[in-house]
Amino acid sequence: MKNMKISRNSYLIEKGQRKSRVKYFTILLLFMTIFSLAIFKDAFAGSIFDRAKEGGLDQIGTDAYGQSDSPTDIRVIIVNGIIVFLSILSLIFLAYILWAGFQWMMAGGDAEAVNTAKKQIINAVFGLLIVLASWGITFFVSKIILNITGSTFY
């Protein structure tokens, strides 16, 4: 009977360690995201702010896009919005795949947890395929429509 208590206590300790590992993994991901944003901030923001002080927004538009004060076609704005939305969705599905893989690794031999993780991975892969197909259709249709009108996007 004493051995059962020890194994139960060791299970609870292992479960607590698993929760702390998840917490540390989440904190690590947060710090990596903040660090990567800090790196990209230096690459883009510094020169744009300096140019804004010197020449204003007109100069930035001319330098960045080769045009100044010309209105953008609403179709280009909509297509770019759709592409950004689909890109964010694809990142969410990739994160979901990684999370399901992490749950699978932490299942500890529990068949139910492994099956749940497998189903999550399969669902996330199908979702990612749908998003990628949507992105391809959007790219194809917008390329046709915008080539007819002479506008450009991206």
pTM (2 decimals)? 0.50
Highest mean pLDDT range out of 9-13, 70-74, 111-115?
A: 111-115
CA distances from 124 to 61, 96, 131 (A): 39, 6, 10
Over 90: is that where the pLDDT of 121 sits? yes
DSSP symbols for 9-69: HHHHHHHHHHHHHHHHHHHHHHHHHHHHHHHHHHHHHHHHHHHHHHHHHHHHHHHHHS--S
Over 90: is that where the pLDDT of 149 sits? no
Give CA–CA dist 146/76, Å, rounded: 8
Highest mean pLDDT range out of 44-48, 49-53, 107-111, 127-131?
A: 127-131
Categorize the per-residue pLDDT at 2 as very low, low, confident or very high, splitting at 50, 70 and 90.
very low
Q: Which residue has the tokens 């020890």?
A: 6
Q: For 20-71, how does the pLDDT look when each residue is reduced to its tens digit (9 = 90+)?
A: 777 878 888 877 777 666 555 555 555 555 655 565 666 666 666 666 555 6
* Averaged pLDDT, 117-137: 93
